[in-house]
Amino acid sequence: MTEQPSGVIHDIGYRKYDGPRLGRARVTRALYAHSLRGAYGLGRSARAKVLPMLLLGVMALPAFIIAVITNVTSDITGGLPLPYSRYVMVTMPILAIFLAAQAPASLSRDLRFKTVPLYFSRPMERSDYVLAKYGALATAVFLLLTLPLLIMYVGALLAELPAGEQTGDLLLALLGAAVFAVVFAGIGLVIASLTPRRGFGVAAIITVLALSFAAVSALQGIIRYEVGDADLAGWLGLLSPATLVDGFQTWVLDASSSSVAPPPGAAGGVVYVLVTFAVIGACWALLNLRYRKVAVS
């Protein structure tokens, strides 16, 4: 022991923090990393890991099967049985469930346990919080969509399909997946931010995503095949997030469409692109608006 502090009863050894203060950017980055890990249950309890990991596995399983089929039948067909760009639409329910489960998980606890005001008492701005959460969920969804595409890509390369063509297709599909991720994460977070109760958030998100997709697809099918109006059916695709982004990647990235009706003509394509960006912008604006004022009571 060195010298004892003398004559002081209350000095119990607390020290001030005198290290470097890292500032806004680092706070945002830390929250981003924390939220991204949280979306897959990393750093949380084992029970929280079950669901996201299960969904990741379920998401990857069809891709693995496709990769195996490609290798077995490559002499006959000479291609993947399912194009990369259609994979997201085929597995849409899994994506919807992942989003419905993880978007409220990312926001609702902060609201429910009133930790949001604590975040904002730090150098962090409102928009930093939104940026970190939005970025983290979009990245998490993007990773969920990327894994199966990579599995298919590896399968295609092992089957000795032309590498250049496959790489090009994969990159375009990844770009489409990124748009899917940003749009869906935005919609999920906007809904999730409105309620501190996880259950309501989950139900609301799935209602918006699944019901709008089912309703729009059914209407599109009826109008296209029973009425024979392919243009009107194409315009209807704007009304649900899944068909919207599918139309976007059909028109911009030349992907093969999975919707009942693709965007009608060039004007339709431009409108799809504009609406897609408008949705992303609106989600960002609404989230910022939501966090301008967070009740402490």
Partner 1 sequence: MNGTVVRLTYRALLGGRRAWLLLLMSVVLLAMAVLLRLTVGVDHQVTADFLGAVSVAALVPLFGLIVGTGVIGPEIDDGSIVYLLSKPISRPRIILSKLAVAATGTVLFAAVPTFVAGLVMSGTADRIALGFGVAALVASVAYSAIFLLLSVVTRHAVVYGLAYALIWEGLLGSFVPGARTLSVQQWSLSLTEAITTRDLVSSDVRLAVAGVLLAVVIVGATWYAGQRLRVLSLAGEE
Selected binder of partner 1 within 118, 227, 270, 285 (CB under 8 A)? 227
Judged by CB, which is closer to partner 1: 171, or 219? 219
Q: Which of 276, 287, 283, 240 is nearest to 261 (CA)?
A: 240
CB of 184 to partner 1, least distance (A): 15
Q: Would you give the binding string for partner 1 spanning residues 206-225, x where CB under 8 A is met?
A: xx--xx--xx-xxx-xxx--
Please give the structure tokens belonging to residue 254: 């030349």
CA dihedral 283, 285, 234, 223 (to 10 degrees): 70
Interface with partner 1: number of residues (CB under 8 A): 33
Ranges within 73-102 binding partner 1 (CB under 8 A) = 91, 93-94, 96-97, 100-101
Distance CA 213, CA 218 (A): 8
Q: Within 10 Å of residue 27's Cβ, how many Cβ atoms?
A: 19
Q: How far is the CB of 160 from partner 1 (least distance, A)?
A: 28
Helix (H, G, I), strand (E, B) or coil at 281: helix
Place of tokens 């489960």: 101
The two structure tokens encoding residue 188 = 């999920």
198 belongs to the binding site for partner 1 (CB under 8 A):
yes
Q: At what angle do helices 265-290 and 241-252 cross, to 10 degrees?
A: 130
Given 24, 26, 114, 197, the residue binding partner 1 (CB under 8 A): 197
Site for partner 1 in 46-65 (CB under 8 A): 47-48, 51, 58
Q: Which is nearer to partner 1, 203 or 294 (CB)?
A: 203
Cα–Cα distance, 160 to 85 (Å, whole number): 20
**What does the binding site for partner 1 look like in residue numbers (CB under 8 A)?**
44-45, 47-48, 51, 58, 91, 93-94, 96-97, 100-101, 197-200, 202-203, 206-207, 210-211, 214-215, 217-219, 221-223, 226-227
